[in-house]
Structure 1
């Protein structure tokens, strides 16, 4: 029960943090990305400038399936044979489930609110790791952060630029 509460609190904290930041930044000014443009850049031009950055939901699901198959093949090559019915990423101690989000605004590593660039129906999908129950951790499963580089639109400079953001990445077992 305690583990479930911790997991729920982490998920709610993430969602609340992003929701609050989205409300704060959009209340100040209208999003610069709409009507097939982001500032002075058309979505078509952005897609040409940054190939491999944007995907449809269907493409993401296909990529995730390919990754799972490649990962299983790699593990078998290493002499590791996973049990059937594994949970999440198959970690026996603290399994992680990966969810993908398409945040429209986020706070970068410097604490600045930034507009993320999307080109509907293609988006920058941001993976977030969520701890699952069912592992054998003798302590507590903790969500570890990872850094992602995402394309943003800088309103003040009127240009596209990559920035760094911290998101929940994976779960690890910590002794308490």
Structure 2
């Protein structure tokens, strides 16, 4: 992993997993004490019998985001990244941003976020990912992914290989009926590997 990949990966993680206060995009109302109260519809998720969506939002601040919040975080990340690349003397920042790539000239990585309902953990066991779908608006755990822009890319001495990292996500274990964090190996960036 090159230093640029490490810096970009750290920026991605900071973008998606920084602690933030509950935003104004949430449907809120103010009480006499000026406390913010979130509104939730009746929760239909299997974990709702034991856990309150409000308590999860409060306990795991920075884990759940609405679609609008994650789009804003992605925009802020792209702006920060653009500034960083320009400071490093990269000439084709505008081309890189149009392709939504990471700036690597050998193996371009396109970054996306998805909200997954189920994923297989590092032990290959399927887990239900916890989302706050009863919120108004709903909030999700957004999962960062990387895709190789050109899987046949690379230069004369290497080829593009998808690299994986292990991330922790909040899941509901249906066997023991308990919330827990579990680990998932996910594709996050492309790397040029020597083939000779």
TM-score computed with the length of structure 2 as normaliser: 0.66
Give 1:150 deviation, angstroms.
0.3
Equivalent position of 2:143 in the other structure: 126
Q: Count residues with an aligned counterpart.
A: 142
Contact 2:121-2:184 at 8 Å conserved across structures: yes
Q: For each residue in 1:85-116, what CA deviation from the matched residue of structure 2 results, as whole angstroms up to 9, or x when unmatched?
A: 12311111111111211111111112222111
Please give the alpha-carbon distance, in whole angstroms, between the structure 1 residues aligned to 2:59 and 2:65: 14
In structure 2, stretches of 5+ residues that fail to align are 1-42
SS at match of 1:38: helix
Q: For each residue in 1:105-128, what CA deviation from the matched residue of structure 2 results, as whole angstroms up to 9, or x when unmatched?
A: 111112222111000211001011
Alignment of structure 1 residues 9-28 onto 2, 5 Å = none
Equivalent position of 1:45 in the other structure: 55
Give 1:152 deviation, angstroms.
0.6
Alignment partner of 1:143 is 2:153: no
Higher RCO (CA 8 Å, separation ≥ 6 residues): 1
In structure 1, stretches of 5+ residues that fail to align are 1-33
1:103 to 100, 106, 116: 116
- Comparing 113-122 with 150-159, greater Cα deviation is found at 150-159
Q: In the superposition, relative to structure 1, how do residues 36 and 107 fare at CA in structure 2: closer, same or farther (>3 Å)?
A: closer
Contact 2:121-2:185 at 8 Å conserved across structures: yes
Give 1:35 deviation, angstroms.
1.6
Please give the alpha-carbon distance, in whole angstroms, between the structure 2 residues aligned to 1:48 and 1:36: 18
Equivalent position of 2:171 in the other structure: 152
Equivalent position of 1:27 in the other structure: none
Alignment of structure 1 residues 73-112 onto 2, 5 Å = 73-77=83-87, 79-83=88-92, 84-86=94-96, 87=99, 88-112=101-125
